[in-house]
Chain A
Amino acid sequence: MPKGRDHILGRIRAALADRPPGGLPEDVAGAAVFAPVADPLARFQAECQANRTELHLVTAANEADCLTAVLAREKEGGDGTIYVQDAPALRALAARLPAATQTNLQFAPAQPAGIASLTLCEALVARTGSVLVSSRCGGRAATILPPTHIVYAHASQLHAEIDAALLAARSQSPTASLYSLITGPSRTSDIEKMLVLGAHGPKRLTVLLRTD
Chain B
Amino acid sequence: MSSTLHSFEQAATRAAHDRPQQETVRTSLGTYNRALNAGRERFASWSEARHRARAVKADAVAHLGEYLEQFEARITSRGGHVFWAETAADARDYILDLARRRGVRSVIKSKSMVSEEVHLGAALEGAGLEAVESDLGEFIVQLRNEPPYHIVTPAMHLRRAQIAALFQQKLGTPAGADSAEDLTMAARHYMRARFASAGMGITGANFLIADAGMVAITENEGNARLTASLPPVHVVLTGIEKILPRLTDLALFWPLLSTAGTGQAITCYSSLIGGPRQPGEADGPEEFHVVLLDNGRTRVLADQERRDTLQCIRCGACLNVCPVFHTIGGHAYGTTYSGPIGAVLTPLLRGEKEFGHLSFASSLCGACTEICPVEIDLHHHLIENRRDSALQHVRPLPERIGMRAFRWLMSDAARYARLAQLARHLLRFKNAWVPEGSPLDLLRPWTASRDLPEPPRESFREWWQRTRQERGGHA
Contacts and interface: CB of A to CB of B under 8 A. Distances in A.
B417 interface: no
B225 A193 contact: no
A130 B251 CA distance: 13
B220 A140 contact: no
Contacts of A103: none
Interface string B139-182: 01000000000000111101110010000000000000000110
Interface string A72-116: 000000000000000000000000000000000001011000000
Given A5-B84, A167-B247, A177-B274, A140 B225 contact: yes
B37 interface: no
Interface stretch (A54-62, A63-71, A150-158, A194-202): A194-202
Contacts of B283: 107, 109, 135, 139-142
A15 B301 contact: yes
B145 to A, nearest CB: 18
Contact of A11 (B55, B250, B268, B298): B298
Contacts of B28: 192-193
A49 interface: no
Interface string B114-135: 0000000000000000000011
Contacts of B44: 31-35
A210 B271 CA distance: 25
A187 B45 contact: no
Contact-residue size bin, chain A (C-beta under 8 Å from the other chain): 35 or more
A5 B181 CA distance: 46
Contacts of A141: 226, 229-230, 282-283
Contacts of B222: 144, 186, 199-202
Chain A binding surface, main DSSP class: loop
Given A20-B62, A109-B196, A142-B282, A192 B27 contact: yes
Interface in B51-103: 52-53, 55-56, 58-59, 62-65, 68-69, 78, 83-86, 90
B298 A181 contact: no
A183 B84 contact: no
B262 A189 contact: yes
14 contacts: A8-B298, A24-B55, A135-B284, A141-B282, A176-B281, A177-B288, A178-B228, A183-B266, A183-B269, A188-B136, A190-B136, A190-B153, A190-B155, A200-B226
Interface of A: 1, 4-5, 7-9, 11-16, 18-20, 22-25, 28-29, 31-35, 47, 50-51, 107, 109-110, 128, 130, 135-136, 138-145, 161-163, 166-167, 170, 175-194, 196, 198-202
Given A144-B229, A177-B273, A193-B156, 10 more contacts: A9-B69, A35-B44, A135-B284, A141-B282, A175-B280, A177-B275, A180-B269, A193-B153, A200-B191, A200-B223
